[in-house]
Structure 1
Amino acid sequence: MRRRRQAPWMREMVREHRLHPSDFIWPLFICEGEGEEQPIASLRGVSRWSIDGIVERAKEAADAGIPAVALFPNTADKDRSEDAREALNPDNLVCRAVRGIKDAGIEIGVMTDVALDPYTSHGHDGLLAEDGSVDNDATVDILAAQALVQAAAGADIVAPSDMMDGRIAAIRDTLEDGGHSNTAIMAYSAKYASALYGPFRDAVGSGDRLKGDKRGYQMDPANGMEALQEVELDISEGADFVMVKPGMLYLDIVARVADTFETPVFAYMTSGEFAMIEECAAAGAGDRDTMLMEALTAFKRAGATGILSYHALEVARKLRA
């Protein structure tokens, strides 16, 4: 077997999996203002950008061959509420950012997050019932309306990340009835109640406000078969793509989904997984670029169609160099 590995050209010739700029979706964080860049302390090298900066980032992504960006807002305190009403505002941060990218004529897909945690004062992904639990059905109604508002702003893909039961069917029906039959749905189908979301919650400003935890609706990290059930349900309800989150620590789930279903499966290298690589490299425990490329290649080896990664622009540019 070593004969196949004896020279770089031979290793290149027999390589089974390759990364390409089109494998990536680049998550971007939005803040209010103009000319604003707000570095995120727990996400080394990642910032929030005001809408003018988001438009520039989208141009950079398109130039690098990245097919889509994913938008996440840091909603101002004054606009957060128990009922997450800002999520339905057609002039909220996300909708304005979508319109900004579309009005600039950038040839890139725009994906929006369908969930209430950036808009609730309590940090949960849904509305709270009297007993403090998340009310599934009341939340689904708002999520469907939120998806419609985003589609009307120009979103190409709406991505429900909330893990409520039945929300894919409700969103699909609402989009169809609202004249947005071409708006695709990327379902966060297997989203685990992970400890790896901390920096992301810092980025969208929901971490410090979270009351309790999300284990009542996000998946138990110990479960694998349940992920296949979740994916099957979302596909049956009309999801065009499915996602596993986290990705790097759940590559077994990515592989099982890819092997079981004939549908595109995406994986999210979460903020915590991003930080693992960055902080490990900063501590001198390994070569950053080598670790990063190895990790991203593992997503492809596991069967991921695409990867959501904060490293997307950097890696896409290197791949095109």
Structure 2
Amino acid sequence: MRPIQASFPAARFRRTRRTDALRRLTQEYSLTVDDLIWPVFVRDGVNVEEPIHSMPGVLRRSVDNVVKAAEQAAALGIPAICLFPYTDPSLKTEACEEAWNPDNLANRAIRAIKAAVPDIAVMTDVALDPYNSNGHDGLVRNGIILNDETLEALVRMALVQADAGADILGPSDMMDGRIGAMRDALEAAGHKDVAILSYSAKYASAFYGPFRDAVGASGALKGDKKTYQMNPANSDEALRLIERDLREGADMVMVKPGMPYLDICRRVKDAFGVPTYAYQVSGEYSMIKGAADRGWIDGDKAMLESLMCFKRAGCDGILTYFAPAVAKLLQDG
């Protein structure tokens, strides 16, 4: 589109910025509670709310308090909650068997939420790092992250999450072929209505540090994830990955991290026109929250501005730890 406009002084862009009413009338994008997915950390125990030092204001919650968080989200109109488990280190092994235990922490939380708040969508994480003594998203042998052997483990993990009642599976592992393997297994098991929101363009980013603290993976990780997560210098590769995942059966796709990769969000939406999401990851959250807590920026304004930029870049929704705070602000008008 090439806009046609008069020259100055016939054209004055400030005319439509002059009042609040005019600015609202000419606003191109909007942020609503329907755009939000709230990532929540779950841990063992009863009535536990454990602060995460590197993510001010974010908690690890026991299952009973995760249910309360889901009830809070539903009351605020947030459509989905995404679960990430903090697994007891004693349950982490090289074979990652706890990942497909029907009674593991994540699956207990899914069942509890769906029993108490059946209408909220529950999204899960499908990757082995919360259960892996090596801290990696895939199985490891002799320092090599195994792709094809990992697929079987991921499928088993996906099926028990679907059995527990998950509405959306979020494969975040970045193994080749995992979407097709999961989709085939879900169809065969009768879970034809379970959606897949694929972490299709997940970059090997420095912005994940606080998250790894939150799930207890920081100390366990041996090496890095550069052999399976994307090179931050690549853009065209993201489009190839998105196309592959869509062909294999993904219903929705995600770019991760968010703000440093807004150009990727826009390219994906323009190229495919599919439901496109971004994850405002832990490092992005902690930078904004940390600066706000020190009085260096206006926290509410920075939070809302950061989320609006995702919508401007073409995203249909955002995973953000700010979800409840944003929803409250939007409710208050």
TM-score normalised over the length of structure 1: 0.99
Any idea what SS the aligned residue of 2:128 has? coil
Matches for 1:184-203 after TM superposition, within 5 Å: 184-203=195-214
- Among 276, 279, 283, which residue is 1:265 paired with? 276
- Aligned residue number for residue 73 of structure 1: 85
Rounded to whole Å, the distance in 2 between the matches of 1:24 and 1:105 is: 17
- Aligned residue number for residue 128 of structure 2: 116
Rounded to whole Å, the distance in 1 between the matches of 2:31 and 2:159 is: 34
Structure 1 residue 320: deviation in Å?
1.4
* Partners of 2:102 and 2:160 within 8 A in 1: yes
Matches for 1:1-321 after TM superposition, within 5 Å: 1-130=13-142, 132-321=143-332
Structure 1 segments, 4+ long, off by >2 Å, are: 282-285
Q: Extract unaligned runs of 5+ from structure 1.
A: none
Any idea what SS the aligned residue of 1:106 has? coil
CA-to-aligned-CA distance 1:223-278 (integer Å, 9 cap, x gap): 00000000000000000000000011100000100110021000000000001101
AA aligned opposite 1:114: V
Rounded to whole Å, the distance in 2 between the matches of 1:185 and 1:279 is: 33
AA aligned opposite 2:264: I
Structure 1 residue 86: deviation in Å?
0.1
* Partners of 2:47 and 2:64 within 8 A in 1: yes
What's the RMSD between the two structures over aligned residues?
A: 0.7
AA aligned opposite 1:67: P
* Partners of 2:127 and 2:173 within 8 A in 1: yes
Structure 1 residue 105: deviation in Å?
3.8
Structure 1 residue 282: deviation in Å?
2.6
Rounded to whole Å, the distance in 2 between the matches of 1:225 and 1:273 is: 24
* Partners of 1:59 and 1:106 within 8 A in 2: no
Q: Extract unaligned runs of 5+ from structure 2.
A: 1-12
Any idea what SS the aligned residue of 1:307 has? strand
* Partners of 1:39 and 1:47 within 8 A in 2: yes
Any idea what SS the aligned residue of 2:140 has? coil
CA-to-aligned-CA distance 1:3-61 (integer Å, 9 cap, x gap): 00001111011111111001000000000001001100000000000000000000110
AA aligned opposite 1:203: A
Q: Which has the larger radius of gyration?
A: 2
CA-to-aligned-CA distance 1:97-142 (integer Å, 9 cap, x gap): 0000111143200001000000001100010123x11000000111
Rounded to whole Å, the distance in 2 between the matches of 1:13 and 1:60 is: 32
Structure 1 residue 280: deviation in Å?
1.8
* Partners of 2:70 and 2:117 within 8 A in 1: no
Any idea what SS the aligned residue of 1:197 has? helix
AA aligned opposite 2:119: E
Rounded to whole Å, the distance in 1 between the matches of 2:21 and 2:300 is: 20
- The share of aligned pairs that are identical, in percent, is 55
* Partners of 1:109 and 1:156 within 8 A in 2: yes
Rounded to whole Å, the distance in 2 between the matches of 1:281 and 1:56 is: 27
AA aligned opposite 1:121: S
* Partners of 2:126 and 2:169 within 8 A in 1: yes
Rounded to whole Å, the distance in 2 between the matches of 1:253 and 1:103 is: 38
Structure 1 residue 281: deviation in Å?
1.7
AA aligned opposite 1:167: R
TM-score normalised over the length of structure 2: 0.95
Any idea what SS the aligned residue of 1:206 has? coil
Any idea what SS the aligned residue of 1:268 has? strand
Aligned residues between the structures: 320
